[in-house]
Amino acid sequence: MRKRIAVLPGDGIGPEVTEAAVKVLQVIGRRFKHTFDVEYGSIGGEAIDKYKMPLPDETIELCQQSDAILLGAVGGPKWDKNPSELRPEKGLLAIRKHFDLFANLRPVIAVPSLLKASPLKEEVVKDVDLMIVRELTGGLYFGEPSKRTEKAAFDTLVYTKKEIERIVEKAFELARLRKGKVTSVDKENVLQSSKLWREVVEEKKKGYPDVEVEHMLVDSAAMQLVTNPCAFDVVVTENMFGDILSDEASVITGSLGVLPSASIRADGFGMYEPIHGTAPDIAGQGKANPAATILSVAMMLKYSFGLEEECAAIEEAVNAVFEDGFYTADLASPTDRVLSTNEWTDKVVDELDLQSVCNDIMHAYI
Ligand SMILES: NC(=O)C1=CN([C@@H]2O[C@H](COP(=O)(O)OP(=O)(O)OC[C@H]3O[C@@H](n4cnc5c(N)ncnc54)[C@H](O)[C@@H]3O)[C@@H](O)[C@H]2O)C=CC1
Ligand SMILES: CC(C)CC(=O)C(=O)O
Ligand SMILES: [Mg+2]
- 113 within a domain of the structure (yes/no): no
Catalytic residue at 247? Answer: yes
State which residues form the domain around 6.
Answer: 1-102+256-366
242 is a domain residue: yes
Say whether 101 sits in a helix, a strand or coil. coil
pLDDT of residue 260: 98
Domain shared by 124 and 246, yes or no = yes
| Last residue within a domain, chosen from 201, 232, 253 | 253
314 domain-assigned: yes
pLDDT at residue 115, as a whole number: 93
4 annotated to a ligand binding site: no
> Within a domain: residue 110?
no
By most ligand atoms within 8 Å of CB, the mutation choice from 85, 89, 244 for ligand 2 is 89
48/64 same-domain check: yes
Res 365: pLDDT: 78
For residue 304, what pLDDT band results from cuts at 50, 70 and 90?
A: very high
Q: Is there a binding annotation on residue 122?
A: no
- Is 141 catalytic? The answer is yes
The Cα 98–Cα 105 span in angstroms is: 18
Q: Whose CA is nearest to atom 24 of ligand 1?
A: 279
Q: What pLDDT score does 359 carry?
A: 80
pLDDT score, position 363: 77
The answer to the question of residue 183 being in a domain is yes
- Find out whether the beta carbon of 89 lies less than 6 Å from any atom of ligand 2: yes
247 and 148 in a common domain: yes
Q: Closest residue (by CA) to atom 36 of ligand 1?
A: 279
Average pLDDT over residues 249-258: 97
Q: Is the CB of 321 under 6 A from ligand 2?
A: no
Residue bearing the bigger pLDDT, 73 or 365: 73
Q: Whose Cα sits closest to atom 29 in ligand 1?
A: 257
Distance of CA 225 to the CA centre of its chain: 18
For the stretch 116-158, pLDDT in tens is 999 999 999 999 999 999 999 999 999 999 999 999 999 999 9
Ligand 2 within 6 A of 243 CB?
yes
Q: Which residues line ligand 1 (CB under 6 A)?
A: 13, 17, 73-76, 89, 92, 255-257, 273, 276-282, 288-289, 292, 330
Count of other CB atoms within 10 angstroms of residue 298: 26
R_g of the chain computed on alpha carbons: 20
Pick left, alpha or beta for residue 143 (phi over 0 → left; psi -120 to 50 → alpha; otherwise beta). Answer: beta
- Does residue 293 sit in the same domain as residue 261? yes
Per-residue pLDDT reduced to its tens digit, 4-23 = 999 999 999 999 999 999 99
pLDDT at 81: 97
Q: Does 209 score more than 80 pLDDT? A: yes
Q: Do residues 242 and 303 share a domain?
A: no
| Claim to verify: residue 264 and residue 275 sit in the same structural domain | yes
3-state secondary structure of 244: helix
> Does 82 count as an annotated binding residue?
yes
- Residue 364: pLDDT band (50, 70, 90) is confident
Q: 56, 49 in Cβ contact below 8 A?
A: no
Grouping H, G, I as helix, E, B as strand and the rest as coil, residue 81 is coil
Q: Is residue 111 part of a domain?
A: no
Name the residue of 278, 281, 287 to mutate for ligand 1: max ligand atoms within 8 A of Cβ: 278
Domain boundary among 253, 279, 310: 253
Give how far Cα 359 sits from Cα of 185, 238, 278, 297, 323, Å.
Answer: 44, 43, 37, 22, 20
Beta-carbon contacts of residue 21 (< 8 Å; ≥ 6 apart): 70, 290, 293, 294, 296, 297
Instruction: Give the chain's mean pLDDT.
Output: 97
What is the enclosing helix (H) or strand (E) of 64?
helix 57-64
Q: Which atom of ligand 1 is nearest to the CA of 76?
A: 39
The CA distance from 95 to 114, in Å, is 33
Residue 17 carries which DSSP code?
H
Is there a single domain that holds both residue 135 and residue 247?
Answer: yes
Task: Enter the ipTM.
Answer: 0.99
**Residue 239: per-residue pLDDT:** 98
Q: Is the dihedral of CA 186, 102, 256, 110 positive or negative?
A: positive
Does residue 336 line the site of ligand 2, with CB under 6 A?
A: no
> Which domain-ending residue is among 208, 234, 253?
253
- Number of independent structural domains in the chain: 2
- Check which CATH number belongs to the domain holding 208 and give it: 3.40.718.10
153 lies in the same domain as 231? yes
**356 has pLDDT over 90:** no
3-state secondary structure 151-216: CCEEEECCCCHHHHHHHHHHHHHHHHHCCCEEEEEECCCCCHHHHHHHHHHHHHHHHCCCCEEEEE
State phi, psi for 264 to the nearest 5 degrees. Answer: -120, 145
Q: In this structure, are 52 and 93 located in the same domain?
A: yes
**Ligand 2 centroid from CA 324, angstroms:** 32
Indicate whether 360 pLDDT > 90.
no
Same-domain status, 301 and 249: no
- Rounded (5°) CA angle 188-190-194: 35
Where does residue 168 rank: exposed (0-12), middle (13-18), buried (19+ CB within 10 A)?
buried
pLDDT given for residue 358 in this prediction: 82
Q: In this structure, is residue 190 part of a structural domain?
A: yes
pLDDT number for residue 330? 97
- With a cut of 90, say whether residue 362 has pLDDT above it: no
Cα dihedral 85, 65, 311, 177 sign: positive
Is the same domain home to 123 and 244? Answer: yes
pLDDT at position 295 is: 98
Share of the chain above pLDDT 70, in %: 100
* Protein residue closest via CA to atom 7 of ligand 2: 243
Task: Look up 50 and say whether it is catalytic.
Answer: no
Distance CA(298)–CA(309), nearest Å, equals 10
243 is in an annotated binding site: yes
pLDDT exceeds 80 at position 312: yes
Instruction: State which ligand 2 atom lies nearest to the alpha carbon of 93.
Output: 1
Average pLDDT over residues 220-244: 98
Residues 268 and 247 in one domain: no
- Does residue 107 lie in a domain region? no
